[in-house]
Amino acid sequence: MRNQLSANLKLKLLNVARESLENFLENEEYIKFHTMIPELLEKRAVFITLKKRSTGNLRGCIGQSNPRYPLIEAVAKTAISSAVDDTRFPTLKISELPDVLIEINLLSPLAPSKAEDVEIGKHGIMIKKGSKGALFLPEVAVSNDWDIHTFFGELCRKADLPQGSCLDREAELYVFESEAWDEDELPN
């Protein structure tokens, strides 16, 4: 994983995510954040996970596997997207926000890989085959106690691909690493 962020920058990004959510859910407006901090101006791939503090249940998770925006903007946009665009859940309401824990995952660049080179706990994986694809963050396999075969099987299921597609020559398999932190790790 390339240059990790300082605790201060991680905290700043968590605050950006929460402020973006609060403002959008209350006013339906995006905040434009301004910074001169070089690390926050780099284009980086990011995922934002929202969990209910009271239950630990997932409430939204969306991201980009390829960098499109400066990090500060990517965090702001992706936080909102996780709250309103994850079709597995109803749109987050402002009244739910106090019970939401925000987690940020900063992804390394995607690297082509073979199935046998994937390491549980170290790598996130993405599969693409034709118009279908799916991605799992590195912690998904660990938190679900999956072995490598289950990890691949669940990835194929998520992508709506036949089991064993990770070994198919026509499928593209990518790995990445992730630097993850949440509001409980870095409280204000």
> Radius of gyration (Cα) for the chain, nearest Å?
17
Q: Residue 62: give the domain boundaries.
A: 7-107
Long-range contacts of range 5-8, CB-CB < 8 Å, 24 or more positions apart? 5/39, 5/106, 5/179, 7/186
Same domain, 53 and 25: yes
Query: How many domains does the structure of the chain reveal?
Result: 2
Q: Are residues 55 and 129 in the same domain?
A: no
Residues 11 and 103 occupy one common structural domain = yes
Mean pLDDT of the chain: 94
pTM assigned to the model: 0.91
Q: What pLDDT score was predicted for residue 63?
A: 96
pLDDT per position as a tens digit, 60-78? 999 999 999 999 999 999 9
Give the span between the Cα atoms of 173 and 168, in whole angstroms.
9
Residues of the chain with pLDDT under 50: none
Q: Give residue 2's pLDDT.
A: 58
pLDDT of residue 124: 96
Q: Which of 13, 2, 4, 47 is nearest to 183 (CA)?
A: 13
